[in-house]
Structure 1
């Protein structure tokens, strides 16, 4: 088992979760960090004992000792930064959502395939073992025929001192940051993409969606409905409803280490797989497995699925009248 050196772009809040997880890896090492703020980069490196700090991204990409780069910046920066990394010959784990528009993620996957590089969207839920077990329970008929999936995801961010979700220049709003999860989990459990999408939402004067409500119908006849909100504190639970029972992913359902299985009489089983660290470890280890095997993406989250998720969100944005500036939507 060879050591794999990671580089990190953007030492913001989510990067701390990543750094905590990789610190427990037996083969992965966070060897370098790049930040537009030298002060923030130095502070992050000191906290996690990272030996190398760069004050520009190109220097990190040019480092021959770096095997893979995790991009942890706000999603409005994902497309140009991931493009720079792939053009520089680096494997990439890209924080969700992958990009602002479907055209952007399509370009990135094409580039990765042309270069023969590993390129993965980091939707951490998709790599968690509990989700795989839930999918298997559904396949086994534990709750009968699935009828619909219902979920909420939301937080009252207006009560926080600082949040990027109210900044349209950063692709703010509930949909891209939060609504992605119900779409990604539904897509995983049903193995299909919706044929009909109906959406409505409250778009603020700042041009961010405060609350968005979506109904999706799949070719199989199954439905998925969700509400995402940046101003309302939600129960944050997902329920998969079947003809003979249901499965509940309790709050916070996207950080799923527990699932409750019910039949018509009540609770049948509780599935619990506690995270070894914080939940990020699964996508980190899977990424290294794929790089070692020469795979361009994980079978748990394909390029086509990443494109499909953004295509769905493009359609939702169109229906609710949510558009961002050309600066962050451009190719």
Structure 2
């Protein structure tokens, strides 16, 4: 994979600490705005990124790249992903894919029409522990209840209360607890159960944005609540309850560092089969393989998954009367 990284924020800095573990990924460009230049130059020197750009179009034309990693604020995902696809580049797009279901569907059609790889960078779908967890669910019988709680008080919330609107709490920029933090829980659930029968989002809304909320998904015989909060803190864990036992995920659903199986017959087991300490390793290892093999069947499957997630997001936002973008 000959990669161009779009962005120079926290997620990019985190990603770069891991990427040397996948030597097949060639860091051929990084793109940012003028004020990012000192940071990009520092990252370029530290991690061996070949070229620094402040003009996206020039990067798409001049850089020796076949894939773009869109690691920008939520509201920019659609435009930057679209431009890359139109330029014939594969795209890895950070979560959430887009702010609107219609935008995601447009990108999906464009990518498939042009036979290009388009995937959402959503860590849990690629983690070995997640795959092991899904196999383990067979042991706990019929799944009755699931509670995902990802509540993490944001230091930006203090600024928000004082009137300073940063992107994570800005409805115009696709902020809010659902899009920033609860989106991981949604991906986690859809990867297990698929699309629900109904969606309800009960949100705490301040200045037009959800600072926390409970997303209720009804699967008929299985009821799910996904809690995402940036204005409170609590123990971050997920509990899956079946009629033969339970599974408890310790920590957030985007990391899935380990989990415990507890059966009614007294059997218990702690599981931690991760193959790398960095949560992004396994997804980018797979993305590199996708580009090398041009595995469009896998791409279509993952796009269908992401579309199901965006359908839930779209219904939740409408239910809570939240207008993004």
Partner of 1:321: 321
Return the alpha-carbon distance in structure 2 between the equivalents of residues 180 and 73 of structure 1. Answer: 16
Query: Which residue of structure 2 lines up, in the alignment, with residue 128 of structure 1?
Result: 127
Between the aligned partners of 2:191 and 2:56, the Cα distance in structure 1 is: 33
Equivalence for 2:197: 195
Q: Summarize deviations over 1:19-71 as a string: whole Å, max 9, x none.
A: 12212113112221011133332233233221210111112212352121111
Taking the aligned partners of 2:104 and 2:95, their CA distance within structure 1 comes to 11
What residue is the counterpart of 2:288 in the other structure? Answer: 288
Partner of 2:92: 93
Partner of 1:170 in structure 2? 173
Asked if the contact 2:188/2:253 (under 8 Å) is kept, the reply is no
Q: Is the 8 A contact 2:211 2:230 kept in 1?
A: yes
| Residues 237-281 of structure 1: CA deviation (Å, up to 9, x unaligned) | 111110011111101232013111111255611111245241111
Q: Distance in 1 between matches of 2:289 and 2:147?
A: 33
Deviation at 1:73, TM superposition (A): 0.2
Alpha-carbon distance in 2 for matches of 1:57, 1:266: 58
Per the alignment, do residues 264 and 172 of structure 1 end up closer, same or farther by CA in structure 2, a change over 3 Å counting?
same
Contact kept, 8 Å, 1:287 with 1:298, in 2: the verdict is: no
In 1: Cα distance, 2:98 partner to 2:123 partner = 16
Q: What's the TM-score once normalised by structure 2's chain length?
A: 0.92
Tell me how large the CA RMSD over aligned residues is.
1.9
Secondary structure at the aligned position of 1:62 is classed as: helix
Which residue does the alignment assign to 1:217? 218
> Structure 2 vs 1, CA of residues 297 and 59 (structure 1 numbering), >3 Å: closer, same or farther?
farther
Could you say what secondary structure the match of 1:252 adopts? coil
Normalized against structure 1, the TM-score is what? Answer: 0.90
**In the alignment, which of 148, 151, 159 is matched to residue 151 of structure 1?**
148
The answer to whether the Cα contact below 8 Å between 1:260 and 1:267 also exists between their aligned partners in 2 is no
Alignment check: 8 A CA contact 1:196 1:217 kept: yes
**Structure 1 gap segments, 5+ residues each:** none
Distance (Å, rounded) in 2 between the aligned partners of 1:118 and 1:18:
20
* Range moving further from structure 2, 80-89 or 33-42: 33-42
Between 1:125-134 and 1:18-27, the stretch displaced more is 18-27
Query: Following the alignment from structure 1 to structure 2, what is the Cα–Cα distance between the partners of residues 118 and 93?
Result: 8
Contact 2:203–2:212 (Cα < 8 Å) also in 1? yes
**2:307 aligns to what?**
307
Does the Cα contact within 8 Å between 2:95 and 2:120 map onto a contact in 1? yes
Deviations 1:219-253 (A, max 9, x none): 5x212111111111132211111001111110123
C-alpha offsets along residues 134-181 of structure 1, whole Å, 9 cap, x if unaligned?
A: 11122xx31111112111112111467875312223211100111111
Say whether residues 1:251 and 2:251 are aligned partners.
yes
Alpha-carbon distance in 2 for matches of 1:202, 1:161: 16
Tell me the residue number matched to 2:114.
115
- Give 5+ residue unaligned stretches, structure 2: 160-165
Change over 3 Å in CA distance of 1:170–1:266 after alignment to 2: farther
Aligned residues: 317
CA contact (8 A) 1:203 1:209 kept: yes
Asked if 2 retains the 8 angstrom alpha-carbon contact of 1:120 and 1:297, the reply is no
> Would you say the 8 A contact 2:28–2:63 is kept in 1?
no
Deviates more, 1:287-296 or 1:124-133: 287-296
In 2: Cα distance, 1:22 partner to 1:189 partner: 28
Contact 1:174 1:211 in 2 (8 A): yes
CA contact (8 A) 1:126 1:301 kept: no
CA contact (8 A) 2:151 2:233 kept: yes
Where do residues 66-77 of structure 1 align in structure 2 (5 Å cutoff)? 66-77=65-76
